[in-house]
Every structure is written in C-alpha cells, then in structure tokens.
C-alpha cells in the first residue's frame, strides 16, 4: 500500500508537465488545463455564446480536478484573453461533479454543480457581469428532498421566463423541475416540480438531454445501467414545456408529467404499444448512450454504444429517426473500457460526440495503433444519407489516451469546437486505492498565448520602498507563498499591501479581502479534498475533513480599479474597488508595479 501511495503521489506531482509533453505528435491538440475531467451525463459541460451585437463572443469549458476543485475556463474570441476560474474548492473529488452552464436572457452566466447522488441539493453561482464568469457571485444552494446528480439546465423560447432543470433525482430516475429566473442577487426557487418523468423496471436509467430551443427538451435514456442489465434497451421521448407532457417522437402524449411517471420496461408488449419510443432493443448486448441532438428537419439523432455480454467489446452506433423509424448505423469498434484499471467499470467506452450543427458528424474515441503504440485517438465519422460512413483522424500518434470527446454547443463558426480528456484514468472517484482521473482537458484550437515576463516590473527592496510611498497604488501585483501552521490552519494575515489585507477565517479557512472598511469574502476555502490519504472515499453523503495546502501561492493584482485574487494561479475573486489601495507597508513576497496576466500568475 505504501508503494502504491508513493507512486500515486509521484504521478500527481508530475502529470501536468507530462501531459503537456505527451500530446499527439503531428496533431492539432492544445491544452485547456493540465488537471481536469468530466463525466458524460452532466451537460452542457461547455458552451459557446455570441450575442446579437457581437459584443460578447466567448467559450466556457468546465471540469473538476482530483483535488475537488470545480473549475471553468473562459476564452474571449474578441480579445484572445483566457481565464481559469476556481468555481468551488474542496468539493467531492468525483468526475460526476463537473459544472454545467446556462447563459441567461440578461446574458449573465449561471453555473450548476452537485455532488454524486449523496446530497439533497444543487449548488450554483451566477456571474454579476454579462458573459463574464470571472465575476461569479456567491455560491447558492438549491435544496431538494432527494439526492441529485447530473444537472442539465435549459431555457426555451416558448417559456422564456423560466429555467427547466433536468437531472437524475427522484428514485434515481430522470427528473425535471421549473425554476424562477435568478434575481439580481442570484437567487432562484422551484416554481413547478420536481417531478419524476419515467419509471423503469431497471434501476438507475441513464439519460441525456438536449433542447430544440423552442418548445421541447429531448430525452434519451436507457432502461438501467448496462453493468446491471443484460440486455439493456434505449428509449427516446420529448418533454413538451408548453403542455408539461411526455411525448414520443411523433408527438403522441405518453403522460402528464405532474400526474406521475411514464412506466417503461423491456417486454415485447411495451414495444408494441409504444413502438416510436423504442430506439434500440437488442437481445444480446447492453445499450448505453452518449448524446442526443435535435437533428435536421426535427429528426433527432443519438450517439450510442452496444456492449457485449462479457463487456469486452464496445461498438459505436449512430441512431437517427428517419421520419418513420429509428435507423442505426455502425461506425466503429471502440475496443473495451478505455481506462487503466482492469475489471473496473468495463462499460466505460472511450466516448462519442455528435456535432449538433452538422448532426451526421460524430467524433469517437477509438483505439488506434500509432507510432507510439496503441492509444485511444479521436476519429471523425461522417454518415452519408445512404448510410455510408467516412472516417478522418483528428488526433494521431499520441502517447496518452484521448477520451470523452465533447462538441461545444452553439460553436458553429467558432474556431474552438471540440474538447476532450487526455491522460491516465483510473476511477471516477479519488481514493486510497486508485488515483481517480488525473487527466488534462484538450481542445482543437491554438490559443493566443499571452506574453510571460516575470522580470518586467519586478521591484527590488529599494524600489519597493519608493513604490509604497504613493498615495494610491493604482496598478500592482503582490504574490506571496503561504505555509500552513500545523495540519489545519494558516497564519491569520496572509497578505498585506497598504490598506489591503487578506485575512483567513480560522474556522472556515475562507480568505477575506479587507480594503479600508470594506470586506469581500471568497466563496472558496483555502483547502482541498485530498483527505483520501486518511479516509475511505465514497458517495455516502459525508463531507470529510478538509486538507490544507502545505504551502500555496496567493496573488493579488490591481488595475483600472479592479482587484483580482488568485489561489495557486486560479482566479478566485474579482473586486471592483470603492476604496483606493494606498501604500506604505507590504508583506514579503514578489511585488510588481504592473498587473500580471493569469499565465504569469500561474508561472509564479
């Protein structure tokens, strides 16, 4: 066990650098973050938003790392600026908990996240400024009377004053509720529901959702988990938000959602009674699904996989409603489970993603023999009207697996469209036995890297004394290394520059920025979920004792009346000054007479 722990920790320390150097040779792979992962049932895990007047043109990508940090990257295609935001620290270290996004009618961005099945609530944050997740408001909690997983939010044009939130909830089944629009302070509440939509004879149906943008939410789901069911079937319904009914693909009403769930099973009489609801009903394999899209001419398409009885062979299929029946087209064999742990989660395919803007195009993660050995690569498949399939390599000659591809919604016309995970994967949760999901997130877009010059503007001791004599410090960066005092605490004052002090609350370990008489508390704690070293991790609803960093880098920048704080390079707070920062005293650290960009802060 000690040798395993040592190897695990060594991997965790070296992986970010390794991930950067092991990407595919000769392929267009660009790293979004060195530490991040996602499951494939909470969506949209990324989204692109461009408004009508073109003043906002940004992409948001969310993920969670093995330390329990829920994070998101924002890329501005107008300016080339990229920001990585710490949405929530010290969360359950489980890849099911990746965040999902919703752009509101007033153009604020709302982010949802929840623990994996073991807590009766959702968490969410709403940006205070239009289209800008670097200005997230405080964390809010939306309580339920049941456990929650996989939040998928929608706003439809026929119901523009409400949010429709879908998730796995009541009875571990597909669940829906209507929410109010967030107030100025970011508060929401249930206005209808929650309601369980279907009831299966199998346990834990797995559902994927998509909206047609107008009046319907698409719902594709299995009768249960393929690990537990052989065979396992795949069904499709519409959720009509005008009538709050469940419908089949032809608009036939199956149930009124508020009156109780629609009952499904795998018996022949169900298929005879509801033939258009049945997408796939194999007799000798296990179905699982990866995506559903509205398709062209209101003909939905589904990315699905058939897994053999032994769970050794995964076949990728493209299913499409042709107007009279569901047609399935074989794309490729996806090998077996893509990850590094034998005998665990053998139904975990490399993954599939449909391009919703071009719904006959599917990206799949398949094992390929390349120059560096056999690794999972991303391959593009195009399905012709006659069913013929053409393929094209997206990545090649990789030295790490490329898995769980995701096409960014509403990104047609943007150069940033495809994202995926790359690296070693051992389990969906971090534990003493397995190191979880220490992967990177990659994309198909070459970032405009900002210049990094850690000598420019750096002040020595004499220059610092002169700089601090100013009546107002309009632009600066101060970065300090903070070491914990014992196993559970930091010094109370971790950073001081003039009348700006950062004080850590002794009980919560939350940093609070004090500027004059104003106080700005973070929504995050200066701790991690790395207590796997001492506790057995599981989905049991417990919040284990947090782990403090042995040391961390805390950085404050100030420019144009805005103070930003960073924890280990991740943006934590954005504060618009009401009181100017004045000088005279300063903590020991690196002081610059300019505001460093985030890439420079990360280098520190």
Backbone angles phi, psi at 4, to 5 degrees: -65, -45
The predicted-structure confidence for 429-477, as pLDDT tens digits, reads as follows 999 889 999 999 999 999 988 999 999 999 999 999 999 999 899 999 9
Please tell me the distance from the alpha carbon of residue 382 to that of residue 597, in angstroms, as a whole number. 41
User: What phi, psi does 375 have (nearest 5°)?
Assistant: -135, 160
Over the stretch 425-436, which tens digit does the pLDDT of each residue have?
A: 999 999 988 999
Domains of the chain, earliest start first: 1-22+29-196+408-449 (no CATH), 198-401 (no CATH), 461-603 (2.60.120.200)
* Residue 311 banded pLDDT, cuts 50, 70, 90: very high
% of the chain surpassing 90 pLDDT: 89
The SS3 assignment for 374 reads: strand
Give 61-83 pLDDT, tens digit per residue: 999 999 999 999 999 999 999 99
Q: What is the DSSP letter of 275?
A: G
* Beta pairing, strands 590-592 & 439-443: unpaired
Cβ 479 vs Cβ 601: under 8 Å: yes
Q: Report pLDDT for 17.
A: 37
The answer to whether 604 and 570 are in contact (CB under 8 A) is no
Closest CA to 99 of 138, 73, 66: 73
267 Cβ contact list (under 8 Å, min separation 6): none
Please tell me the predicted confidence (pLDDT) of residue 13.
Answer: 41
DSSP of 551-580 = EEEEEEEEETTEEEEEETTEEEEEEE-SS-
**Of the candidates 410, 447, 453, 422, the residue with the CA atom closest to the CA atom of residue 604:** 453
The answer to whether 56 touches 130, Cβ cutoff 8 Å, is yes
Convert the pLDDT of each residue in 542-589 to its tens digit.
888 899 999 999 999 999 999 999 999 999 999 999 999 998 999 999
- Give 330-370 pLDDT, tens digit per residue: 999 999 999 999 999 999 999 999 999 999 999 999 999 99
Say yes or no to pLDDT of 234 above 80.
Answer: yes
Fill in the DSSP letter of residue 25: T
SS3 state at 532: helix
Residue 115 near residue 99 (C-beta atoms within 8 A): no
Kindly list the distances between the CA atom of residue 91 and the CA atoms of 66, 97, 99, 234, 372, in Å, as whole numbers in the listed order. Answer: 10, 8, 11, 32, 36
Q: Which residues contact 416 (CB under 8 A, 6 or more apart)?
A: 48, 59, 75, 77, 408, 443, 444, 445
CA–CA dist 357, 362 (Å, integer): 11
**Span 529-544, mean pLDDT?**
82
Q: How far apart are CA 498 and CA 509, in angstroms?
A: 23
Task: Give the pLDDT score at 5.
Answer: 44
> How many of the other CB atoms lie within 10 Å of CB of 549?
19
Q: What is the mean pLDDT of the chain?
A: 93
């Amino acid at each position: 066990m000690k040798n395993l722990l040592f190897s695990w920790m060594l991997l965790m320390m070296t992986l970010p650098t390794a991930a950067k150097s092991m990407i595919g040779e000769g392929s267009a792979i660009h790293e979004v973050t060195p530490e991040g992962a996602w499951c494939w049932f909470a969506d949209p895990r990324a989204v692109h938003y461009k408004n009508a007047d073109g003043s906002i043109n940004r992409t948001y990508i969310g993920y969670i790392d093995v330390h329990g940090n829920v994070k998101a990257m924002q890329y501005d295609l107008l300016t080339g600026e990229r920001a990585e935001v710490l949405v929530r620290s010290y969360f359950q270290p489980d890849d099911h908990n990746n965040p999902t996004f919703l752009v509101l009618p007033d153009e604020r961005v709302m982010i949802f996240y929840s623990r994996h099945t073991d807590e009766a609530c959702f968490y969410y944050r709403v940006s205070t400024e239009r289209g800008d997740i670097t200005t997230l408001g405080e964390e809010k909690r939306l309580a339920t009377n049941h456990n929650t997983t996989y939040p998928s939010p929608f706003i439809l044009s026929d119901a523009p004053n409400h949010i429709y939130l879908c998730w796995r909830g009541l009875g571990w089944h597909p669940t829906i509720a209507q929410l109010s629009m967030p107030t100025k302070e970011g508060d929401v509440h249930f206005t209808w529901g929650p309601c369980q939509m279907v009831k299966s004879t199998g346990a834990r149906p797995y559902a994927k959702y998509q909206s047609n943008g107008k009046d319907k939410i698409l719902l594709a789901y299995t009768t249960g988990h393929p690990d537990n069911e052989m065979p396992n079937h795949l069904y499709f319904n519409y959720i009509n938000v005008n009538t709050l009914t469940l419908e089949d693909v032809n608009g036939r009403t199956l149930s009124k959602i508020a009156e109780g769930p629609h009952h499904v099973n795998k018996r022949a009489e169900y298929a005879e009674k509801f033939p258009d609801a049945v997408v796939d009903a194999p007799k000798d394999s296990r179905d699982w699904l990866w995506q559903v899209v509205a398709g062209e001419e209101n003909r939905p398409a589904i990315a699905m996989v058939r897994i053999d009885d032994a769970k050794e062979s995964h076949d990728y299929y493209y299913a499409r409603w042709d107007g009279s029946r569901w047609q399935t087209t074989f794309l490729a064999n996806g090998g077996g489970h893509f990850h590094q742990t034998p005998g665990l989660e053998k139904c975990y395919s490399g993954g599939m993603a449909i391009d919703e803007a071009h719904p006959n195009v599917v990206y799949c993660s398949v094992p390929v023999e390349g120059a560096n050995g056999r690794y999972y690569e991303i391959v593009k498949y195009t399905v012709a009207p006659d069913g013929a399939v053409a393929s094209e390599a997206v990545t090649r000659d990789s030295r790490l697996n490329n898995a769980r591809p995701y096409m960014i919604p509403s990104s047609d016309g943007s150069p940033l469209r495809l994202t995926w995970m790359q690296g070693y994967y051992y389990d969906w949760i971090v534990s003493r036995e397995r190191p979880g999901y220490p992967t990177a997130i990659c994309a198909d877009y070459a970032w405009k890297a900002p210049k990094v010059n850690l000598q420019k503007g750096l002040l020595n001791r004499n220059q610092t004394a002169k700089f601090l004599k100013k009546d107002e410090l309009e632009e600066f960066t101060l970065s300090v290394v903070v070491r914990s005092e014992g196993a559970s605490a930091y010094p109370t004052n971790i950073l001081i520059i003039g009348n700006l002090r950062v004080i850590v609350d002794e009980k919560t370990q939350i940093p609070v920025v004090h500027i004059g008489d104003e106080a700005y508390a973070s929504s995050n704690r200066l701790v991690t979920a790395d207590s796997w070293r001492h506790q057995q991790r599981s989905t049991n609803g417990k919040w284990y004792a947090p782990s403090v960093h042995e040391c961390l880098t805390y950085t404050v920048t100030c420019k144009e009346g805005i103070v930003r704080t960073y924890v280990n390079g991740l943006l934590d707070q954005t504060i618009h000054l009401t009181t100017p920062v004045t000088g005279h005293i300063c903590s020991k650290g690196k002081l610059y007479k300019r505001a460093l960009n985030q890439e420079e802060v990360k280098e520190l």
